[in-house]
Amino acid sequence: MARPRLQITGPVIDAPDPIALARFYARLLGWPIVAEEGPRPGFPPQDGWAKIRSPEGNMKIEFQWEEHYVAPTWPGAAGHQTMMLHLDIEVDDLDAGVEWALAAGATPAAHQPQEDVRVLLDPAGHPFCLFRG
């Protein structure tokens, strides 16, 4: 059997408030929010779903409500919710990138494993990395 065409277009990230998280990443990356839904009837006000898309149109990130969301622990620790994946974001100037991310609503992670990479946490607690390209 021949392999059919398969293409990853981007991740879907669980969140306790997906609309707020989509707005954070839209501001951080300069990507527009292209779709937004929720809350569904009978669900709490933070229920919803949103999608941002790169200006080039070649990548998207979706955000979906997770009722039982638990922020990951960074670095991972036995018995705690661990990071299942993270976003790597290339920047031209690491210090300026960190300053922008903090202004957008990120917080610096307490543990910084590399000198040339900065680990930050988004408003839902997901780690993401900024690195020089």
- Give the architecture (CATH level 2) of 12-65: 2-Layer Sandwich (3.30)
The overall pTM is greater than 0.75: yes
CATH class (in words) of the domain with range 87-132: alpha beta
**For 89-122, what is each residue's pLDDT tens digit?**
999 999 999 999 999 999 999 999 999 999 999 9
CA 65 distance to own-chain centroid: 13
**For 61-79, what is each residue's pLDDT tens digit?**
999 999 999 999 999 999 9
Mean pLDDT over each residue of the chain, to the nearest integer: 96
Residue boundaries of the structural domains of the chain: 12-65, 87-132
- 40 near 47, Cβ under 8 Å? yes
